[in-house]
Chain A
Amino acid sequence: MADTMGYFIAGYAVIFGLLAVYALYLVLLGKKVKKDWEELSDKK
């Protein structure tokens, strides 16, 4: 059997890495929307 453990680890690192980056992007986007909303409410 071929030893392909390194590629297995790399594959799942990519999968969970990309998902984590997108989740972080959503969290930051959520924070920006909340901040914009608060600024807008203060102006009013």
Chain B
Amino acid sequence: MLSENKPLKTLTFLSILLVLLAFLMVIFYAPVELNMGMVQKVFYFHVSAAWLGMLAFLVAAISGILFLSKKNLLYDHIAASSVEIGLLFTAIANFTGMIWARPIWNTWWTWDPRLTTMTIMAFTYIAFILLRRGIDEPYKKARFGAIYALVGFVSVPITFFSARLLRTIHPIIIGGGSGEMAMTSRMYQTMAAGLVAFTLLFVVLLWQRTRLAEAAAVIDRLKAEQNAEEFGEVENG
């Protein structure tokens, strides 16, 4: 159970190294933005975290489809793990956004369409975790999780396009046309480094969390079998 996994260990080490490298680029390579000053540099990891949050919910939705078609509990473990990690990245994006907003918008929070839809998305997936915990039978739990992950995914494109289609004060990084944030090539390179580092970190976390979920499920099943045997013995006299 949970035997040593060399590729996972190597990837973990590589992801930590890449995150540190991206952070060094944020500090030393990316220029300081003239109006916002140093707080603008929070944006490099903020964007990566927001992107990874959405990607994690996409992975959960795809895993949901795979579970519904193949009935393999592995996909349920991937979906649940992905949602958990997606919430971690969404929390990072939300909190860093608030910290950036305080000196730039002069407020920690405003009911802007992007911030509002992102919060609704986060609560949708918090509910996924809480409701899923209320079901004991593994296949029932997995079926509920799969359908929820699919329906809940509707909140992701709404969040993504909210800054592009609705009136918002949230900056647009890519695909914003005239409203796009002005960035130098060094800024784009640093953002790309952050995205690559966080994507690898996501893969590592998902792999690790899914392994743990699978191991815990095996233990639960064995415990249930053992309990059934014990009760059987008592009943038989």
Q: Which residues of A are at the interface with B, using a C-beta cutoff of 8 A? A: 1-5, 7-8, 10-12, 14-15, 18-19, 22, 26, 29-30, 33-34, 36-37, 40, 43
Contact = CB atoms under 8 A, between A and B. Distances in A.
B219 A36 contact: yes
A40 to B, nearest CB: 6
Contacts of B99: 7, 10-11, 14
Interface stretch (B32-40, B59-67, B142-150, B161-169): B32-40
Q: Do most interface residues of chain B lie in helix, strand or loop, or is the interface mixed?
A: helix
A4 B88 contact: no
Nearest to A1: B37
A6 to B, nearest CB: 9
A22 B88 contact: yes
Of the listed residues A1, A10, A15, the one surrounded by the most CB atoms of chain B closer than 10 A to its CB is A15
Interface of B: 1-2, 23, 32, 34-42, 45-46, 49, 85, 88, 91-92, 95-96, 99-100, 102-103, 201, 205, 208-209, 212, 215-216, 219, 222-223, 226
A29 B100 contact: no
Contacts of B40: 4
A4 B39 contact: yes
Contacts of A4: 36-40, 103
Contact of B219 (A11, A12, A18, A37): A37
